């Protein structure tokens, strides 16, 4: 029996980020998201402020996500250079509200 695929839920700015990407990178990200729906443990576990989240590498781009039951919550997609800092700051702001 194969694992049951998960649904994807994107943060609002993630959808805009995907739309602005180069078509080749969009295809690679789409394939990666399809893979994550079936195997959500494909990415590495993050630590410290991002504990509970995972990161999947797509070249220089990272997908930051976590599994929430039958749903994968995608918090961010962006360049490795800044994505971890940006996501941590965004999550801090969300919890301060």
**Structural domains in the chain plus CATH codes:** 7-96 (3.30.2310.20)
Is the pLDDT assigned to residue 26 strictly greater than 80? yes
Closest CA to 37 of 78, 60, 67, 80: 67
Reading the block at residue 48, the tokens are 């410290």
Is the pLDDT assigned to residue 22 strictly greater than 50? yes
**pLDDT digits over 60-81, tens only?**
999 999 999 889 999 999 998 8
> Which residue, chain included where needed, has tokens 């494909």?
42
Give CA–CA dist 85/30, Å, rounded.
24
Is the pLDDT assigned to residue 5 strictly greater than 80? no
């Amino acid at each position: 029996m194969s694992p049951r695929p998960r649904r994807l839920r994107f943060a609002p700015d993630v959808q805009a980020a995907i739309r602005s990407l180069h078509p080749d990178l969009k295809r690679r990200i789409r394939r990666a998201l399809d893979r994550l729906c079936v195997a959500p443990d494909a990415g590495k576990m993050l630590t410290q402020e991002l504990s509970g989240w995972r990161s999947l590498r797509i070249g220089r781009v990272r997908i930051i996500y976590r599994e929430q039951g039958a749903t994968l919550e995608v918090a961010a997609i962006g360049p490795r250079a800044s994505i971890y800092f940006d996501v941590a700051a965004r999550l801090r702001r969300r919890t301060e509200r």
